[in-house]
Amino acid sequence: MASQLVRRLARSRLDGILSSSSPNPSFFNRSFSSESNLIRATLFPGDGIGPEIAESVKQVFRTADVPIEWEEHYVGTEIDPRTQSFLTWESLESVRRNKVGLKGPMATPIGKGHRSLNLTLRKELNLYANVRPCYSLPGYKTKYDDVNLVTIRENTEGEYSGLEHQVVRGVVESLKIITRQASLRVAEYAFFYAKAHGRERVSAIHKANIMQKTDGLFLKCCREVAEKYPEIVYEEVVIDNCCMMLVKNPALFDVLVMPNLYGDIISDLCAGLIGGLGLTPSCNIGEGGVALAEAVHGSAPDIAGKVCIKETLILYS
């Protein structure tokens, strides 16, 4: 039943995309012109239920006649010295070449001396924006039925820089870094996305009344980019207001752009609004037009193929 629903959705979305005029932006460096053009994409099936989901994705795509050719790469069992992790150099090169990828859930094996797989991917491919569209699925009833928003989260800096140290015993400092370059990058992407998808409003989420310089810089960058897109309404919302409005009336928001930590929390909150992480697509955008869609959940054994379908839809959007 789920696969039927999904097939219907996939077909309708595909029709929508192939029929509408698609822009040829610098972010997505591939041509979208005719159906005979085969798109090569890298697929990381991942662990746990990953391979199962990957199979169902491939099946759905085959049924929907999507012109895509998958290059599968598996996570190795030993550390590749060129990447310092379990991901091989070939896998990374493949993503860089194809510019499009789909990643299943990857469980980072516990051990010493290597980076987490997700972190490796993020750093090597310079994935700076995490895009999560959240819309209420027809047919899956939650307490919120009118959710239709996209959260765009800065993925590289902010509170998750990992720079912590113990000053003296019992006192710990953690650095939150905001740079102009990263903020501009993610703001540009957010506005570009809004324009490309016909979204009307972009809201920047911040706490600049307390963190004046850091979130102030983020806001300044967003404002600069907003001036270049006069047709899109731009607003700034303090994060506690945003949380409250999201749970009371999620229809108020359209596209949300945020620094790292707020983005993490708000995107998971939005995922909760529509039914959980099992139903949320997510895509990481990197420099040079790389797009890596992923499963946000873990390798849990009890989730059906719903997730990857949504991600592949976002791959096309």
Partner 1 sequence: MSHRSFSILKRVITHHPNSSHLLSSQRSVTYMPRPGDGAPRPVTLIPGDGIGPLVTGAVEQVMEAMHAPVHFEKYEVHGDMKQVPQEVLDSIRKNKVCLKGGLMTPVGGGVNSLNMQLRKELDLYASLVNCFNLPGLPTRHENVDIAVVRENTEGEYSGLEHEVVPGVVESLKVITKFCSERIAKYAFEYAYLNGRKKVTAVHKANIMKLADGLFLESCREVATKYPGIKYNEIIVDNCCMQLVSRPEQFDVMVTPNLYGNLVANTAAGIAGGTGVMPGGNAGADYAVFEQGASAGNVGNTNLVEQRRANPIALLLSSAMMLRHLQFPSFADRLETAVKHVISEGKYRTKDLGGDSTTQQVVDAVVAALD
Residues that bind partner 1 (CB under 8 A): 142-144, 159-160, 162, 164-166, 169-181, 207-217, 219, 236, 238-241, 243-248, 261, 264-269, 271-273, 275-277
How open is the CA angle 219-203-200, to the nearest 5 degrees?
Answer: 130
Q: How far apart are CA 261 and CA 167, in angstroms?
A: 23
The residue (of 71 and 268) whose beta carbon lies closer to partner 1 is 268
What is the nearest approach in angstroms of partner 1 to the Cβ of residue 271?
Answer: 6
- Tell me the closest approach of the beta carbon of residue 252 to partner 1, in angstroms: 12
Q: Could you tell me the smallest distance in angstroms from the CB atom of residue 265 to partner 1? A: 5
From residue 267, alpha-carbon distances to 130, 131, 164, 273 in Å are: 10, 9, 24, 10
DSSP 80: B
Of 12 and 116, CB closest to partner 1: 116
In the complex with partner 1, which residue's Cβ is closer, 38 or 248?
248
Give the whole-angstrom CA distance, residue 242 versus residue 213: 20
CB of 144 to partner 1, least distance (A): 7
C-beta of 233: minimal distance to partner 1 in Å? 17
Q: Which is nearer to partner 1, 17 or 175 (CB)?
A: 175
Number of other residues whose CB lies within 10 A of the CB of residue 18? 15
- Which C-beta is closer to partner 1: that of 83 or that of 280? 280
**Contact predicate 145/136, CB 8 Å:** yes
Q: Are strands 201-206 and 148-154 parallel, antiparallel or unpaired?
A: unpaired
Contact 292, 104 (CB under 8 A): no
Residue (49 or 277) nearer to partner 1, CB: 277
**Smallest separation (angstroms) from partner 1 to the CB of 280:** 10
Q: Report the residue number, 129 or 204, with the smaller CB distance to partner 1.
A: 204
Smallest Cα–Cα separation from 51: which of 70, 67, 29, 37? 70
Please state, in angstroms and as integers, the Cα–Cα distance from residue 204 to each residue in 153, 181, 225, following that order. 10, 16, 11
- Tell me the backbone φ, ψ of residue 135, rounded to 5 degrees: -135, 145
Which residue, 66 or 205, has its beta carbon nearer to partner 1?
A: 205
Kindly state the smallest distance separating residue 23's Cβ from partner 1, in Å: 30
Contact (CB, 8 A) for 251 and 203: no
Buried b (16+ CB within 10 A) or exposed e, 216-233: ebbbebbeebbeebeebe
User: Nearest approach, Cβ of 236 to partner 1 (angstroms)?
Assistant: 8
Residue whose C-alpha is closest to residue 270's, from 105, 129, 135, 159: 135
